[in-house]
């Protein structure tokens, strides 16, 4: 291939310009090339707090621009407004005015989210109900709007409740809101956890940097090897549910359950890892969710920052469990429906939230009577609890991922009513690599945490050439498993 300098710069320009179809995802080559430039500059500026902040904000806004174009200004505007509102809440002396600023801030944040995310859903439903023909709005959903809206709401509410002080300057707040590792898909890190780290601006330790790098590598493997590979079959089977047997659809349900875990927890690992490399602890977002023994435990292990957010800013303000059993069940259902709707403007997400609400309520109702009859430390009881919880999770994940309520019903119904194990050998023979990957990721879920911790410690301490070798192997694995295009993360659409 001949080298032409003009072509090179033309292609480079195209790569770096706004393209909604090609967001700057962490498992893309473009991101890593940019990170290679980012890292030494960040390292040099780390001790000069203001310069470091300006540099990181600029990079974060570029990160936003790459997928959302001029909408990065929306993020800037949101940060200005909510920073100002939080200051007003602090300054005001009357409760009435403080409450006014709080609700104004929430109304604007939710309003913007509603416009971009739910306007077309509302129009679609009106058209269905009224047989009208309102045209959908031509909107691009800005990157991570669901995530940063929740961050900004929690910040203003926490200032209102006196849990945190508002930031002294706007840059601090913009840094928190736009911090690129957590911008697109969380974790929804709280201001009370993040801002003190920014104020202290401590040098990251060697442990932090390399354990972060290790997490990034794990995340890349989860996403680019496991999730994208498992997706090949799940997507096809969900897309043609009528053409597949019950057994094949049951396998697709299992596959999607593992795929979404690898996809989203993989992204979270990368985000948390990048945060650590930069010296920021973003907490954890997943804690082996498929080990859960019941729906309540599942929500303590799955998308932890979201479930904590929903608990603190929806469930508890609604009354939590303080106003009697019936009210608690209502609060649980309302919280899960909001959680479902947050994920996407479609009925399948609302149904998904509703089914989880039912699961949580049933668990709350049955927990005490069952605990009286069944010893909770008995291994058989634990196993059946796990099995029941896992089947429940697989079903709800199918509702989440099958596309629409009708398709998910077809998939679930056929999986139960047309399940024929005779397809097993045919399936395994035809899709042996897929089955192997599914088994591996399932088995890895039950490896003791200590093993992962030891591996991390070993990686942190190993020679840099070994780290290089591992990095090269991981990247080559990603290239080997890669499809023609880099697949977007499932949660990127939220």
Examine residue 419 and tell whether it contacts another protein (CB under 8 A): no
Span near another protein by CB under 8 A; candidates 35-43, 129-137, 256-264, 389-397: 35-43
User: Site for another protein (CB under 8 A): which residue of 59, 213, 329, 342?
Assistant: 213
Per-residue x/- marks for another protein, 45-64, CB under 8 A? -x------------------
Q: Which is nearer to another protein, 10 or 300 (CB)?
A: 10
Per-residue x/- marks for another protein, 465-494, CB under 8 A? --xx--xx--xx--xxxxxx--x-------
User: Is residue 81 packed enough to be buried (19+ CB in 10 Å), middle (13-18) or exposed (0-12)?
Assistant: middle
* Distance in Å, CB of 435 to another protein, minimum: 11
DSSP code at position 186:
-
DSSP string across 420-488: -TTHHHHHHHHTHHHHHHHHHHHHHTTS-HHHHHHHHHHHHHS-HHHHHHHHHHHHHHHHHH--SSPPP
Q: How far apart are CA 321 and CA 7, in angstroms?
A: 64
Examine residue 439 and tell whether it contacts another protein (CB under 8 A): no
Span near another protein by CB under 8 A; candidates 160-168, 206-214, 286-294, 382-390: 206-214
User: Site for another protein (CB under 8 A): which residue of 107, 110, 137, 430?
Assistant: 430
Span near another protein by CB under 8 A; candidates 6-14, 121-129, 360-368, 442-450: 6-14
Instruction: Report the half-sphere exposure of 315 (CA within 13 A, side-chain side).
Output: 19
User: Site for another protein (CB under 8 A): which residue of 50, 125, 169, 240?
Assistant: 240
Examine residue 378 and tell whether it contacts another protein (CB under 8 A): no
Examine residue 10 and tell whether it contacts another protein (CB under 8 A): yes
Examine residue 373 and tell whether it contacts another protein (CB under 8 A): no
Asked if 445 and 257 count as a contact pair (C-beta separation under 8 A), the reply is: no
Residue 293: count other Cβ atoms within 10 Å of its Cβ: 19
Examine residue 114 and tell whether it contacts another protein (CB under 8 A): no
Examine residue 461 and tell whether it contacts another protein (CB under 8 A): no
Q: Which is nearer to another protein, 214 or 286 (CB)?
A: 214
> Radius of gyration (Cα) for the chain, nearest Å?
24
Span near another protein by CB under 8 A; candidates 120-128, 372-380, 431-439, 441-449: 431-439
Residue 140: count other Cβ atoms within 10 Å of its Cβ: 12
Q: How far apart are CA 483 and CA 96, in angstroms?
A: 57
Residue 369 neighbours by CB under 8 Å, 6+ apart: none
Span near another protein by CB under 8 A; candidates 100-108, 167-175, 240-248, 314-322: 240-248
Backbone angle region of 357, left / alpha / beta, with phi > 0 → left and psi within -120 to 50 → alpha:
alpha
Catalytic annotation, pick one of 303, 343, 356, 363:
343
Q: Which is nearer to another protein, 29 or 317 (CB)?
A: 29
Quick check: is 343 catalytic? yes
Q: Which is nearer to another protein, 378 or 439 (CB)?
A: 439
Asked if 152 and 177 count as a contact pair (C-beta separation under 8 A), the reply is: yes
* Distance in Å, CB of 233 to another protein, minimum: 8
Q: Which is nearer to another protein, 243 or 317 (CB)?
A: 243
Q: Which is nearer to another protein, 48 or 445 (CB)?
A: 48
* Distance in Å, CB of 451 to another protein, minimum: 24
Give the N- to C-terminal CA distance of the chain in Å, as an integer: 40
Q: How far apart are CA 306 and CA 151, in angstroms?
A: 10
User: Site for another protein (CB under 8 A): which residue of 206, 368, 379, 450?
Assistant: 206
Examine residue 464 and tell whether it contacts another protein (CB under 8 A): yes
Q: Which is nearer to another protein, 11 or 169 (CB)?
A: 11
Length of the chain: 494
Asked if 343 and 383 count as a contact pair (C-beta separation under 8 A), the reply is: no
* Distance in Å, CB of 479 to another protein, minimum: 5
* Distance in Å, CB of 175 to another protein, minimum: 19
User: Site for another protein (CB under 8 A): which residue of 11, 50, 169, 378?
Assistant: 11
Q: How far apart are CA 199 and CA 305, in angstroms?
A: 22
CA–CA distances in Å: residue 384 to residues 235, 298, 332, 381, 444: 30, 15, 25, 5, 20
Size of the site for another protein (CB under 8 A): 58
Q: Which residues of 251-274 are buried (b: 16+ CB within 10 A; e: fewer)?
A: bbbbbbbbbbbbbbbbbbbbbbbb
Examine residue 137 and tell whether it contacts another protein (CB under 8 A): no
156: closest CA among 190, 180, 132? 190
Residue numbers at the binding site for another protein (CB under 8 A):
1-4, 7-8, 10-12, 14-15, 29, 32-33, 35-36, 39-40, 42-44, 46, 203-204, 206, 209-210, 213, 229, 232, 235-236, 239-243, 277, 403, 426, 430-431, 433-434, 464, 467-468, 471-472, 475-476, 479-484, 487
């Amino acid at each position: 291939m001949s080298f032409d300098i003009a072509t090179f710069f033309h292609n480079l320009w195209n790569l770096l310009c706004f393209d909604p179809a090609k967001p700057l995802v962490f498992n893309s080559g473009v991101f890593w090339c940019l990170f290679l430039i980012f890292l030494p500059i960040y390292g040099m500026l780390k001790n000069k707090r203001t310069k470091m902040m300006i540099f990181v904000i600029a990079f974060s806004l570029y990160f936003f621009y790459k997928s959302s174009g001029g909408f990065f200004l929306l993020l800037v505007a949101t940060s200005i407004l909510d920073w100002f509102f939080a200051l007003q809440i602090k300054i005001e002396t009357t409760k009435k005015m403080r409450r006014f600023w709080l609700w104004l801030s929430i109304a604007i944040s939710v309003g913007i989210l509603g416009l971009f995310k739910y306007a077309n859903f509302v129009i679609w439903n009106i058209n269905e109900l009224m047989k009208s023909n309102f045209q959908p709005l031509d909107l691009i959903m800005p990157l991570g709007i669901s995530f940063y809206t929740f961050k900004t709401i929690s910040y203003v509410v926490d200032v209102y409740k006196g849990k945190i002080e508002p930031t002294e300057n706007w840059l601090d707040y913009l840094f928190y809101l736009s911090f690129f590792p957590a911008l697109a898909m969380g974790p929804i890190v709280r201001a009370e956890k993040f801002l003190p780290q920014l104020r202290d601006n401590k040098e990251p330790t060697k442990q932090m940097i390399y354990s972060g790098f290790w997490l990034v590598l794990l995340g890349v493997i989860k996403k680019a090897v496991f999730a994208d590979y498992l997706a090949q079959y799940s997507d096809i089977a969900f897309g043609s549910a009528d053409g597949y047997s019950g057994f094949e659809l049951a396998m697709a349900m299992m596959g999607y359950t593992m795929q979404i875990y690898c996809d989203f927890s993989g992204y979270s690992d990368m985000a948390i890892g990048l945060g650590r490399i930069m010296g920021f602890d973003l907490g954890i977002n997943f804690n082996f969710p498929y080990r859960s023994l019941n729906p309540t435990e599942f929500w303590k292990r799955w998308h932890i920052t979201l479930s904590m957010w929903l608990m603190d800013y929806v469930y508890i303000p609604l009354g939590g469990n303080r106003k009697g059993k019936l009210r608690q069940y209502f609060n649980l259902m309302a919280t899960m429906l909001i959680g479902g709707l947050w994920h996407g403007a479609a009925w399948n997400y609302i149904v998904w939230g509703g089914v989880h609400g039912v699961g949580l309520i049933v668990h709350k109702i049955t927990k005490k009577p069952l605990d009286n009859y069944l010893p909770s430390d008995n291994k058989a009881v634990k196993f059946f609890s796990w099995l029941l919880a896992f089947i429940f999770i697989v079903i709800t994940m199918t509702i989440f991922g099958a596309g629409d309520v009708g398709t998910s019903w077809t998939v679930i119904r056929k999986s139960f009513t047309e399940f024929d194990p005779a397809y097993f050998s045919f399936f395994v023979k035809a899709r042996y690599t897929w089955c192997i990957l599914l088994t591996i990721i399932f088995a890895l879920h039950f490896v003791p945490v200590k093993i992962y911790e030891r591996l991390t410690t070993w990686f942190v301490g190993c020679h840099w050439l070994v780290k290089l070798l591992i990095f090269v192997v991981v990247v080559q694995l990603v290239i080997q498993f890669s499809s023609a295009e880099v697949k977007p993360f499932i949660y990127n659409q939220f």
